[in-house]
């Protein structure tokens, strides 16, 4: 759980300091006040980049050289005789206009974003999240791999090796200089790592898919036969090695590797049709919420990294009152930390379960103030 946050020069947030963050943190205020920028800042802390798909430069306040986000995460750690104590871990990310990133965890520099992501696992839901369904497969692979990464420690190493092999093999194929001997070496490594990635993904998918169905049965019971289908990126009747052999001439002719985990997809189906083609915008948002809640539940249950934090931009958009209530109830039952934005505070107060404590922050012209009535 993120207990403290300090933001410097992220968009219109010049200096923002938030302490004593709670489980449910709501940021409300008018358009352009800086609400989404607060969520972007937390994303910067966990992923070293924005979730808006914009360049790092656009994130840095105009006419300043860099932006910085510093935070403290506390996680319940097992102490002596099984007593649990909250240990605080400081972490910080600085990005400069030149693209340089400086990342520190516990005061020590770290080199990979994976270490940040392990320290502060994030799930993001925004008004654009429907693109997980309607957009290209890359987004759905990332979605799937987020889950595998957080529950299977060995996945990331294999994934890195696979990416290296694929790059090398494609470089050679593109230059048309591939010798049989080189091809054998790269194909062997690609096969091994590709098969391993596929196995991890399949194992994770086998638990994700029923969890997603359970959640959707609560969120949208009327939606017709919702299901997920995993496509591994090559003919499922073949081993990866066989698929690479079969694709050899196409690969050499066109200069890239046609099959493999880099072509995998998770298809979301409703009543036998692609959800992206048939569901309404609100239904799509619900499905995306279901996908992301399912991952959060699995991580809490199976991962050894605790729970993930949800960043939800404009929660009420596209969702009616009934469905907003259901999403909030599920989040509340998961006992996860949530950062959520809305225009007027009533929008969240009216849908969040009354029993829980909500901390409200009013955002205006880049200033973030704890709202006096927030702890009522
Ligand atoms: N690089 C930048 N430097 C300074 N200000 C910026 C920069 N990028 C964006 N802004 C401004 O920061 C403000 C905050 O934007 P943000 O998207 O966080 O607002 P918001 O509160 O989420 O608004 P909405 O309700 O419309 O979603 C906007 O007024 C925007 O014009
Ligand atoms: Mg916004």
Q: What pLDDT does 77 receive?
A: 54
Q: Are residues 280 and 359 in the same domain?
A: no
Which of 247, 273, 304 lies at the terminal end of a domain, its last residue? 304
**312 and 35 Cβ atoms separated by less than 8 Å:** no
Q: Are residues 91 and 29 in the same domain?
A: yes
Atom number, ligand 1, closest to the C-alpha of residue 38: 18
Token look-up 């206009």 returns 97
Shortest-distance Cα residue to atom 18 of ligand 1: 34
The CB of 12 under 6 Å from ligand 1? The reply is yes
Q: Is residue 126 part of a domain?
A: no
Which of 304, 320, 349 lies at the terminal end of a domain, its last residue? 304
Domain count, the chain: 2
CA 49 to ligand 1 center in whole angstroms? 16
Q: What pLDDT does 360 receive?
A: 95
b/e code 80-110 from CB counts within 10 Å (16+ = b): eeeeeeeeebebbbbbbeeeebebebeeeeb
The CB of 68 under 6 Å from ligand 1? The reply is no
Q: Are residues 17 and 116 in the same domain?
A: yes
The CB of 34 under 6 Å from ligand 1? The reply is yes
Q: Which domain holds residue 29?
A: 1-121+307-376
Q: Is residue 190 part of a domain?
A: yes
Which of 273, 304, 335 lies at the terminal end of a domain, its last residue? 304
The CB of 36 under 6 Å from ligand 1? The reply is yes
Q: Are residues 5 and 112 in the same domain?
A: yes
Q: Are residues 145 and 27 in the same domain?
A: no
CA–CA gap between residue 73 and residue 170 (Å, rounded): 41
CA–CA gap between residue 376 and residue 373 (Å, rounded): 6
CA 33 to ligand 2 center in whole angstroms? 8
Instruction: Point out the ligand nearest to the CA of residue 32.
Output: 1
Domain CATH code at residue 255: 1.20.1050.90
Q: Is residue 238 part of a domain?
A: yes
Q: What pLDDT does 372 receive?
A: 81
Instruction: Point out the ligand nearest to the CA of residue 38.
Output: 1
- Please report which helix (H) or strand (E) contains residue 122, including its range: strand 122-125
Q: Are residues 160 and 271 in the same domain?
A: yes
Q: Are residues 339 and 253 in the same domain?
A: no
Tell me: the pLDDT tens digits for 224-258? Answer: 789 999 999 999 999 999 999 999 999 989 999 99
- Name the band, by pLDDT with cuts 50, 70 and 90, for residue 356: confident
Q: Is residue 139 part of a domain?
A: yes
Q: Are residues 263 and 364 in the same domain?
A: no
- Tell me what the mean pLDDT of segment 148-159 comes to: 95
The CB of 11 under 6 Å from ligand 1? The reply is yes
Picking from 182, 111, 117, the residue whose alpha carbon sits closest to that of residue 155 is 117
Domain CATH code at residue 315: 3.40.50.300
pTM > 0.75 = yes
Picking from 376, 324, 367, 317, the residue whose alpha carbon sits closest to that of residue 11 is 367
Tell me: the pLDDT tens digits for 186-215? Answer: 889 999 999 999 999 999 999 999 999 999
CA 375 to ligand 2 center in whole angstroms? 24
């Amino acid at each position: 759980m993120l207990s403290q946050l300090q933001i410097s020069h992220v968009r219109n947030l010049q200096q923002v300091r938030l302490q004593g963050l709670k489980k449910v943190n709501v940021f409300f205020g008018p358009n352009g006040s800086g609400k989404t920028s607060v969520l972007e800042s937390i994303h910067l802390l966990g992923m070293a980049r924005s979730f808006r798909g914009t360049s790092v430069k656009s994130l840095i306040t105009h006419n300043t050289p860099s932006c910085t986000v510093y935070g403290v995460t506390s996680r319940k750690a097992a102490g002596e005789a099984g007593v649990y104590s909250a240990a605080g871990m400081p972490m910080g990310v600085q990005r400069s206009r030149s693209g340089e990133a400086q990342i520190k965890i516990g005061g020590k520099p770290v080199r990979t974003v994976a270490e940040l992501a392990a320290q502060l696992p994030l799930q993001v839901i925004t008004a654009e999240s429907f693109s997980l369904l309607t957009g290209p497969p890359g987004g759905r692979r990332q979605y799937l791999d987020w889950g595998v990464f957080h529950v299977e420690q060995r996945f990331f190493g294999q994934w890195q090796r696979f990416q290296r092999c694929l790059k090398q093999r494609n470089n050679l194929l593109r230059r048309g200089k591939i010798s049989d001997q080189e091809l054998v070496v790269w194909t062997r490594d690609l096969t091994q790592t590709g098969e391993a990635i596929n196995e991890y993904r399949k194992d994770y998918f086998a638990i994700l898919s029923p969890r997603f169905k359970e959640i959707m049965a609560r969120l949208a019971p009327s939606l017709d036969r919702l299901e997920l289908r995993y496509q591994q990126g090559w003919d499922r009747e073949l081993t990866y090695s066989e698929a690479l052999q079969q694709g050899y001439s196409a690969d050499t002719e066109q200069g890239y590797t046609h099959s493999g985990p880099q072509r995998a997809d998770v298809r979301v189906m409703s009543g036998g049709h692609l959800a992206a083609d048939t569901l309404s915008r609100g239904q799509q948002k619900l499905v995306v919420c279901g996908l992301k809640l399912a991952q959060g539940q699995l991580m809490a249950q199976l991962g050894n990294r605790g729970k993930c934090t949800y960043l939800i931009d404009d929660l009420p958009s596209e969702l009616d009152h009934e469905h907003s209530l259901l999403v909030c109830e599920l989040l509340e039952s998961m006992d996860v930390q949530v950062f959520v934005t809305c225009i007027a505070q009533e929008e969240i107060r009216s849908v969040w379960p009354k029993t829980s404590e909500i901390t409200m922050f009013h955002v205006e012209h880049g200033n973030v103030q704890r709202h006096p009535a927030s702890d009522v």
